[in-house]
Amino acid sequence: MLQTKALTKDAYQLMHDGILAFGRAERQGIRVDVEYCERKKAHLTRKIERVTKQLQNTKLLKLWNKIYGVKTNISSNHQLSRVLYKTMKIKPFKSTASGNQGATDEESLSMLGIPALDQILEIRKLTKVRDTYLDAFVREQVDGTLHPFFNLHIPRTFRSSSSNPNFQNIPARDKQAMMMCRQALYAREGHHWLAVDYSGVEVRMACIYTQDQKLIYDTVHGDMHLDMAVELYKLDSLDKNHSGEKNLRQGGKNGFVFPEFYGDYYGNCVPNLLKWARIATLKDGTPALVHLSDKGLVKLDKKGKVTNTDKFLKHVEKVEDDFWNVRYRTYSKWKKSWWSKYQKRGYIDMLTGFRCSGVMTKNECINTPFQGSAFHCLLWAFIRIDELAYEEEKWDSKPIGQIHDEISIDTHPEELEHVAETVQRVTCIELPEAWNWIDVPLEVEADLCPVNQPWASKQFYELPEVC
DNA sequence: GGAACTCGCCAC
DNA sequence: AAACGTGGCGAGTTCC
């Protein structure tokens, strides 16, 4: 088990002040529209009932009933797994993590092309929103205000966690789920919800630890996700503003660069890269899969389904080799020496003053300093903003939460410009002055909700220049 | 009847 | 040779 302790007085102070600042944010809380939650819950319940009824008439459910009788439970993945992979003798696409049974996650079910399974997935999604989020909002609120906890004593990397309810995993990517959940949450009456987040702060921490000049250049001036997409998909160029081609950049980012940084390898990247290719189109209208086929990387059948990926696999292996041994070779060397130093000493030290000891895997050992330090940047800024809000400048505006690299501030309209400018200054100027080991520029972006509009309504907000 | 586990899924 | 980091949480299941 990885153990962390404050190695320096500064590190201790950061935790101490952080807990107090989070305590004030917890007390301040987040306004929740309870009536909306109840309405939406009822609406979802009706929708779930409708789909459940349709499901009852399917062949799959008739078979399921035959086996399980009155014990039939459509939310039991164990039962579903047995029906699909034992009774119907379908070959599972993959097993669960523990290897106990064939997997029944979204990917495994959707590729079987059985309509009943799509209905099960639909039910899963709606139930998730209703029971994990809307229900929790109603359960946890006091007089129309939520008080999510922000913990500093749990994550092994000295990040934070959140609970009751978890403010850090409210849907964001799935537009539908995002709208349903975030429509429930508001800043105070007459206030804006201002959200400011550090851009690519984990990668910037990697720049600082590794001092890889190419990584620094790409982070500050370049676009590594685009570069890698061009290599991976064998493109001549990529326009990230083109709606079809930007999916390929997303593929480079989420299907390769991030997994590689977390310690994954090319074999796991290939299926993800293909997933993004499936929904991408080149500027001239060529579907990305057809393009890959033209390049000889994959083979397609008459229906356009991928039948062979051997060449693509080999290609991604080569791209990975180049990524670590040429492009970011300094980063690569750092990883090796960092790991061997840990193996010799039994601990690692973060630049923020924490020492981590105990048993760590290689990936843990390498990721911990980036994740931990990145969060500590946000934490330092959060503490400073809390201090300005409550002590030095006595704002009406108040910080109300954070999501690892993002801070939410319940902001009075008349203070908006001052708060935005101050946050920009604290995060990007004061912090690197206080921690002089930060030798790459830090950047933030902001979103804003109009007064009395929910979190779901957030829009890009141009921050004032402070430099 | 509760603790501990598995599985799936939400966030960064 | 090995192979994605950190969390919270709901539902189902198994164990005691």
Which band of pLDDT confidence, cut at 50, 70 and 90, is reported for residue A5?
A: low
**CB A418 within 8 Å of CB A463:** no
Bridge partners for A321 per DSSP: none
Q: Is the CB of A138 under 7 A from strand C?
A: no
The residue count for chain A: 467
CB A349 within 8 Å of CB A359: no
Task: List pLDDT tens digits, range A200-226.
Answer: 999 999 999 999 999 999 999 999 999
Residue % of chain A over a pLDDT of 70 = 98
Could you check: is the Cβ of residue A43 within 7 Å of any atom of nucleic acid strand B? no
Please give the nucleotide, over all strands, whose C1' is closest to the CA of residue A272. Answer: C4
Q: Could you give the CA distance from residue A326 to residue A321 in angstroms, rounded to a whole number?
A: 8
DSSP A389: I
CB A252 within 8 A of CB A281: no
Residue A205, burial from CB neighbour count under 10 angstroms (0-12, 13-18, 19+)? buried
Separation of CA A162 and C1' B7 in angstroms? 22
pTM of the complete model: 0.94
Reply yes or no on whether the pLDDT at A47 is more than 70.
yes
- Please report, rounded to whole angstroms, the spatial distance between the CA atom of protein residue A168 and the C1' atom of nucleotide C9: 12
Output the six-digit token pair for A219. Answer: 């982070």
Check residue A6 and give its pLDDT.
62
A127 CB below 7 A from strand B atoms: no
Confidence of residue A438 (pLDDT cuts 50, 70, 90): very high
What are the DSSP calls for A394-447, one per residue?
--S-EEEEE-SSEEEEEE-GGGHHHHHHHHHHIIIIIHHHHSTT--S---EEEE
- The proportion of chain A whose per-residue pLDDT surpasses 90, expressed as a percent, equals 71
Residue A23 CB contacts under 8 Å (≥ 6 apart), including other chains: none
Per-residue pLDDT tens over the stretch A276-307: 999 899 999 999 999 999 999 999 999 888 99
| pLDDT tens string A74-104 | 988 888 998 999 899 998 888 888 788 888 9
Main-chain dihedrals φ then ψ at residue A437, nearest 5 degrees: -75, -10
The whole-chain average pLDDT of chain A stands at: 92
Cβ neighbours of residue A244 closer than 8 Å, sequence gap 6 or more: A280, A281, A282, A283, A288
- Mean pLDDT calculated for residue range A107-133: 90
Residue nearest C9, CA–C1′ metric: A132
Does A1 score more than 80 pLDDT?
A: no
Does the nearest atom of strand C lie within 7 Å of A162's Cβ?
A: yes
Q: How far, in Å, CA of A299 to CA of A281, rounded?
A: 17
Residue A398, pLDDT score: 96
Q: CA–C1' distance A353–C14 (Å)? A: 44
Q: Which nucleotide is nearest to A174 (CA to C1')?
A: B10
d(CA A48, CA A128): 11
Distance CA A48 to C1' C7 in A: 29
Under 8 Å CB-to-CB from A441, ≥6 apart: which residues? A220, A428, A432
Pairs from A173-179 (Cβ < 8 Å, separation ≥ 24)? A174/A125, A177/A125, A177/A128, A177/A129, A178/A456, A179/A456
Please report, rounded to whole angstroms, the spatial distance between the CA atom of protein residue A151 and the C1' atom of nucleotide B4: 23
> Using the CA of A148, which nucleotide's C1' is the nearest one?
C8
A465: pLDDT strictly greater than 90: no
- For residue A325, the tally of other CB atoms under 10 A from its CB is 11
Q: Is the CB of A94 under 7 A from strand C?
A: no
> Is A325 within 7 A of strand C by CB distance?
no
Per-residue pLDDT tens over the stretch A398-415: 999 999 999 999 999 999
Of the candidate ranges A198-212, A389-403, A427-441, A453-467, the one whose mean pLDDT is the lowest = A453-467
Chain centroid offset of residue A215 CA: 22
pLDDT the model gives residue A242: 92
With a 7 Å cutoff on the CB, does A78 touch strand C?
yes
- Bases of chain C within 7 A of a CB of the protein: 2-14
The answer, yes or no, to whether residue A240 has pLDDT greater than 80, is yes
Return the structure tokens found at A61.
């459910």
| Whole-number Å distance between alpha carbons of A155 and A165 | 17
User: What is residue A171's three-state secondary structure?
Assistant: coil
How much is the CA Rg of chain A, to the nearest whole Å?
A: 25
Residue nearest to nucleotide C6 (CA to C1'): A155
Residue A172: CB less than 7 A from any atom in strand B: yes
Residues in A 169-208 whose C-beta is less than 7 A from nucleic strand C are 169
* Model pLDDT for residues A346-376, shown as the tens digit of each residue: 899 999 999 888 888 898 899 999 999 999 9
pLDDT for res A10: 84
DSSP conformation class of A145: E
Strand B-proximal residues of A, range 151-170, CB below 7 A, are 168-170
Residue A318 has pLDDT above 70, yes or no: yes
Distance CA A421, CA A370 (A): 27
How is residue A340 written in tokens?
């061997």
Q: What's the pLDDT at A467?
A: 59
| Token pair for A190 | 């007459």
A175-184 pLDDT, tens digit each: 899 999 999 9
Is residue A89 left, alpha or beta, with left meaning phi > 0 and alpha meaning psi from -120 to 50?
Answer: left
In angstroms, the CA of A367 and the C1' of C16 are apart by: 39
Q: Print burial letters for A161-179: b (CB count within 10 Å at least 16), e (below 16).
A: bbeebebbebbeeeeebbe
DSSP states of A74-143: TT-HHHHHHIIIIIS-PPPS-B-TTSSSB--SHHHHHTTT-HHHHHHHHHHHHHIIIIIIIHHHHHH-BT
